Structure 1
């Protein structure tokens, strides 16, 4: 029986640049950063208060997981902004939004009242969108 989800993938254009973004702009912690045979790099990050679910910052390139053609297709989709990095929760969307904007994080939607709370929509440095949500209490 499966008891939990431990990792989720976010495809990025450059792992070093993505690591800088998630660590220094969003404030995430580094979980694992390992290079294995064949040039594959296992790189994970997580919010400081949630280490049990880590995000894998995966750079699609030819190797054990992708053919050259499939890696190029995925990179093209990343560049088009076709992928999302998920929903990140916060206790105060407006305050977190202002802190992230001050750090240079790009947003495509400022904090807006929704049925479920307050939501802002941001973009990471690879072009993946993410939702920043303050749930209604």
Structure 2
């Protein structure tokens, strides 16, 4: 029986640089870092509050199909790959802290039906979404989807 999600992969250009970013900039911790042969490295990081979920930092390569490797590398070069979503307790303060550390902010905090959301990039160019969640109703979501500007209060 499946019990939970335990691992997700984030595609990166350089494992060492990305590991440093996730640890030094985002506050993650190293979970494992071993070489398995000449062309594969198993490197995982994770948030200290979630020991059951690892983020596998991996570079595109074998055993993936060559066409998929090429597509991933192009996507990384263009900075359009989604990485992970992060739960934060204060989106505005977290973004201010990350910006002070030199993290690229794609979208500043904005009110959404489900909470306050912001987008950042990691050192590879991957998008990470930060969400300060809140309870919401279906009516709020539908009003937001219908572009009703009064549906949400400003930050």
Give the structure-2-normalised TM-score. 0.82
Unaligned runs of 5+ in 1: none
Cα shift readout 1:33-88 (whole Å, capped 9, x = no counterpart):
01111321001111111110111001113x3x224443232111111223211210
Unaligned runs of 5+ in 2: 136-155
Give the structure-1-normalised TM-score. 0.92
* Superposed counterparts of 1:26-45, under 5 Å: 26-45=26-45
Name the count of aligned residue pairs: 135
Query: Whose strand proportion is higher, 1 or 2?
Result: 1
Q: Alignment RMSD, CA only?
A: 1.3
* Aligned equivalent of 2:57: 57
Structure showing greater radius of gyration is: 2
Cα shift readout 1:10-44 (whole Å, capped 9, x = no counterpart):
10011011011101001100111011113210011
CA distance in 2, matches of 1:105, 1:82: 16
- The structure 1 segments of at least 4 consecutive aligned residues displaced by more than 3 Å after TM superposition are 67-70
CA distance in 2, matches of 1:15, 1:36: 14
* Aligned equivalent of 2:16: 16
CA distance in 2, matches of 1:116, 1:73: 32
* Aligned equivalent of 1:85: 83
